[in-house]
Structure formats: structure tokens, C-alpha cells
Amino acid sequence: MRLHYYLLHDIELVQQRDKQELQAHLERGNHKLALQDVKLLGAQVQALRALRVPENCFTNSSGVLMS
């Protein structure tokens, strides 16, 4: 759901969120970083846009998702 939320917004917003996420990890980890703990969404959003994935494909009404 979070990925879909950021897919609907401007890429600068996603990049700002990624910067804040990375800075918070660095502060908590005493400037050490465990890459498996960092969840950056900017590259994922850009990949979905490059693949021209429709913004509504993640909704129940799209018919793509099944319960």
C-alpha cells in the first residue's frame, strides 16, 4: 500500500522520504548502516513508472488483485 501511495505522488516527495529514512537509520545506528533494514522506495516507484504500470492497478476495482 505504501508503494502505491508514493506512486501517486511526485518523485521529489518520494526522494525526500528516502533521505529522511536513510538519515534516521544513520542516527539510530551511530552512523553505521545495515542495508537490509533500509526500505527505500524511490527506485521502486521509478521502476514502476518506467514500466508504465497504471496507478490504479493496486486497487480492488482494478481486477488485478484477487482476495
- Going residue by residue through the chain, which has 67 residues, state the pLDDT in tens, using 9 for 90 and above: 677 787 888 889 999 999 999 999 899 988 888 888 788 888 888 888 888 877 667 666 655 554 4
> Looking at the domain assignment, is residue 7 inside a domain?
yes
55 located within any domain: yes
Q: Give the per-residue pLDDT at 19.
A: 93
Print the domain residue range for 50. Answer: 2-60
* Residue 67, domain member (yes or no): no
- Domain assignment present for residue 65? The answer is no
Q: Quickly list H helices, the chain.
A: 2-7, 11-28, 42-50
**11 within a domain of the structure (yes/no):** yes
| Total domains in the fold of the chain | 1
Residues 6+ apart with CB under 8 A from 65: 58, 59
Look at residue 66 and tell me if it is in a domain. no
Residue 4: closest CA among 45, 33, 52 = 45
